[in-house]
Amino acid sequence: MSSLNPYRPYPLFILVLAVILSMPVVVVLAHVFVPSGDIWQHLSSTVLPDYIRNSLLLMLGVAIGTLLIGVTAAWLTTMCQFPGRGLFEWALLLPMAMPAYIIAYTYTGMLDFAGPVQMTLREWFGWQYGDYWFPQIRSLNGAVVMLTLVLYPYVYLLSRAAFLNQSICVLDVSRTLGNGPWKTFWRVALPLARPAIIAGLSLALMETLADYGTVQFFGISTFTTGIFRTWFGMGSAAAAAQLAAGLMVFVFALVIIERYSRRQARYHHTSRRHQDLRRFQLTGGRAFLAFIFCLIVLCLGFLLPALQLLSWTIHVADTVIDAEFMRLLVNSLSLAAAAAVLALVLAIVMAYAQRLYPGKLVSGAVRVAGMGYAVPGAVIAVGVMIPFAWIDNTIDDLARSHFNYSTGLLLSGTLVAVTFAYLTRFLAVSLQTVDSGLTRITHSMDEAGRSFGFRPLQILRQIHIPMLSASLMTALLLVFVDVLKELPATLILRPFNFNTLAVKAYELASDERLAEAAPAALAIVIAGIIPVILLSKTITRSRKLKLAHDEH
């Protein structure tokens, strides 16, 4: 182990970074200490129990759903051979490109009481209202299904990477010991992949907690909807911050569970010898079941809603798609790319610090820096706005009094503020991914590197980055797609005359013009697909390269 002294420049740098990045969350939470009068009492006697119950049920449902779908799909596509496997391997990532609020809008459009599906049923069977039972889409269960359908890829992606990276030896040993596919899965592969699965799950659950669009549209009272009502409707920032603090309790619980599980499962493979995986050949009924399972997930999570969006788009295309629309596309893509690269660099710097200086201080700082993920975008936005405006106005005051010159607003209302909000909000995504990739690199490899006289940065460059490339790509992609979909922070922090696809889609959808919102929504989805495919290719290729490399 390296020196534990946390006062060296690198750990110190991490601490400073963590302080800066957690500033928005801290600013909001600081409002907790502002007295909120009797609002808190009002909340706890009326709506708070609902917020807690609904948030918990939502998390529980999404956890079960994403684990079932994500892990099963990952295992089937990496370890089993069945018709269509190659296609599903990457296609199952597609729902990731679908923002939760958009999938909620589209399914509501289709399945609501007044939607085409129920209409048709009523026509066919001559039913009236109340004659028949139909699942209520705008309900807690509906929200669970919507969120599960778009969030399972987090679990799928990370567990798939873990399954792919598992040394073939381990699985071979399992097989020589007479374990069949099921036993190998339960007793070897699953426990080995647990850190990655839980990392994916905690991302999905944090997204669930931060979701505003879906629960708001479905009329479910959760912490996020409560924060907005209290802040803006009752005009109490303090009580809203207290609710946000309540939300953070959930987040911390998630973080602790995730950490704990990782400590329990510090498995390292001692061999990096990879061979092409010999997949379990599925035949007959089993192959059919695997195929149908993947197909249903893909249809529900992507194909159906995308087709609905497409049909709406065709209806309105000539009025909505113009030069302005192309500008939206360019704005969205370049902003997302810039934020994704920055987040990746920060994540590498932090995850590496955590590994090199395994003290409480550094790991605490890294956790704190990633805290923003579960905080709703609009809350983060206000947390960014307050300190940035303060800095701007202070500089302006100084300049005015000393040089008689007004600097105006330097940071507020620029893309710097927007990008900073993205980093605060999404750093956890790249951090989790890079970190779970790093956990799979044995400490003995670091030690070997050090015995060659490598300095820490050399270990990073020469050993880790090549070995991590799949995780790094994953991190890049996740943040890219997340930023593309991000709405509330962009909406409120952006400069004049600057729009993104998400802003456009939201504005029209919030005015209940779903069809007109469709082209922008579809563009987000399509723009999100391209990196998904790239990523999928890279993961496969990096593994092949590594195989070639290892054989020398």
Partner 1 sequence: MRKAGIFLSIWLGLSVTLITGCSDNGKDEVQEVNLYSARIESLIKPLLDEFTEETGIKVNLVTGNADELLQRLQNEGRNTPADMLLTTDAGRLHRAMEVDLVEPVESEILQERIPSSYRHPEGYWFGLSLRARPIMYVKDRVDPAELSTYEALVDPRWKNRICVRSSSNIYNQSMVASMIVANGEAATEEWAKGLVANFARSPQGGDRDQISAAAAGQCDIVIANTYYLAGMLTSNDPSEREAAEKLAIFWPNQDGRGVHINVSGAAIIKDAKHRDNAIKLLEFLTSDTAQHWYAEANGEFPVRADIEKGELLEQWGEFRADPLDMDKLGEYNADALRLMDRAGWQ
470-509: contacts with partner 1 (CB under 8 A): 488, 491-492, 494-499, 503-504, 507-508
Are 427 and 462 within 8 A, CB to CB?
no
Q: Is residue 415 close enough to count as binding partner 1 by CB under 8 A?
A: yes
Smallest separation (angstroms) from partner 1 to the CB of 77: 34
End-to-end Cα distance, the chain? 30
Residue from 7, 124, 125, 129 binding partner 1 (CB under 8 A): 129
37, exposed or middle or buried, with CB in 10 Å at 0-12, 13-18, 19+? exposed
Residue from 18, 386, 421, 477 binding partner 1 (CB under 8 A): 386
Cβ neighbours, 10 Å, residue 93: 27
Select from 85-93, 345-353, 444-452, 474-482 the region that touches partner 1 (CB under 8 A): 345-353
Whose Cβ is closer to partner 1: residue 70's or residue 437's?
A: 437
- For partner 1, the binding residues in 306-335 under the rule CB under 8 A are 315-316
Are 331 and 500 within 8 A, CB to CB?
yes
- For partner 1, the binding residues in 170-229 under the rule CB under 8 A are 216-219, 221, 225, 228-229
Residue from 513, 537, 541, 544 binding partner 1 (CB under 8 A): 513
Whose Cβ is closer to partner 1: residue 373's or residue 506's?
A: 506
What track of x and - describes contact with partner 1 for positions 12 through 51 (by CB under 8 A)? -x----------------------------xx--xx----
Q: Is residue 112 close enough to count as binding partner 1 by CB under 8 A?
A: yes
Report how far Cα 396 is from the mean position of its chain's Cα atoms: 37
Q: Is residue 398 close enough to count as binding partner 1 by CB under 8 A?
A: no
For every residue of 324-361, DSSP letters joined together read: HHHHHHHHHHHHHHHHHHHHHHHHHHHHHHHHHS-SHH
Smallest separation (angstroms) from partner 1 to the CB of 87: 34
Residue from 337, 349, 445, 534 binding partner 1 (CB under 8 A): 349
Whose Cβ is closer to partner 1: residue 21's or residue 201's?
A: 21
Eight-state DSSP code of residue 280: E
CA-to-CA dists, residue 479 to 269, 344, 473, 537, angstroms: 29, 8, 10, 18
Whose Cβ is closer to partner 1: residue 83's or residue 408's?
A: 408
Q: 448: alpha, beta or left, given left = phi > 0 and alpha = psi -120 to 50?
A: alpha
Select from 57-65, 156-164, 230-238, 300-308 the region that touches partner 1 (CB under 8 A): 230-238
Q: Is residue 391 close enough to count as binding partner 1 by CB under 8 A?
A: no
Listed residue (278, 252, 79) closest to 163, CA to CA: 79
Rounded distance, CA 379 to CA 37, Å? 21
Number of residues that make up the chain: 552
